[in-house]
Amino acid sequence: MTLNTPLTYEQALQKAKEVVERESPYEDYEAPNDTSIQMAALLIFNLHNITIDLSTTVEGGMYVGIVNEYKIMHVELYNDGDLGYIVEDIRGDLWENEDVETVKEMIDIIKKFCILEA
C-alpha cells in the first residue's frame, strides 16, 4: 500500500480496519483489537509516502512490512500495546531486533530505515 496523498487520521483508521475485515475470520488466533488497529492507523497517517505491507499477525495485532533496497523491516503492533521490529537482509540474516516504547519512536525508526529525514 502506497498512499501518495496524505490521509486524515480517520481515513487511515478506516484503511487499517479494512485490512482486519479482509483477513477475518480469526478462528485460530486473536484478532487485532482497537489498540493495535489504532497504532497501525497512526503509522499509515504519518508514513503516507512510504510503501508498506499491512496485515494482521497470528500473535494478535497488526504487521507492517517495509522494504528498503536489500533490507526488510518487519514491524509488529501487538494488542497489548507493545511494539517491536526486526530488520533482516534478503538472505534472511538478522541485522536488528528491538522493542520500541512509543508509536512516535517507531515512526522515526521507520523514516530512518527508509532514508527519510525524521
Instruction: Note the pLDDT of residue 27.
Output: 81
Residue with cell 485490512: 19
For residue 106, count other CB atoms closer than 10 A to its CB: 23
Cα separation, 83 vs 94, in Å, equals 18
Instruction: Note the pLDDT of residue 118.
Output: 44
Residue ranges covered by each domain of the chain: 9-113
- Evaluate if pTM is beyond 0.85: yes
Quickly state the pLDDT bin for 117 (edges 50, 70, 90).
very low
**Distances 16 to 52, 57, 59, 93, 97 between C-alpha atoms, Å:** 12, 13, 17, 29, 24
Q: Is pLDDT larger for residue 107 or for residue 2?
A: 107
Q: What share of the chain has pLDDT > 90, as a percent?
A: 74
Is CATH 3.30.920 correct for 9-113?
A: yes
The mean pLDDT value for 54-80 works out to 94
Task: For 12-43, give one letter per residue: b (16+ CB within 10 A) or e.
Answer: bbebbbebbeeeeeeeeeebbbebbbbbbbbb
The mean pLDDT value for 7-21 works out to 94
Whether the per-residue pLDDT at 109 is higher than 50: the answer is: yes
The mean pLDDT value for 28-52 works out to 92
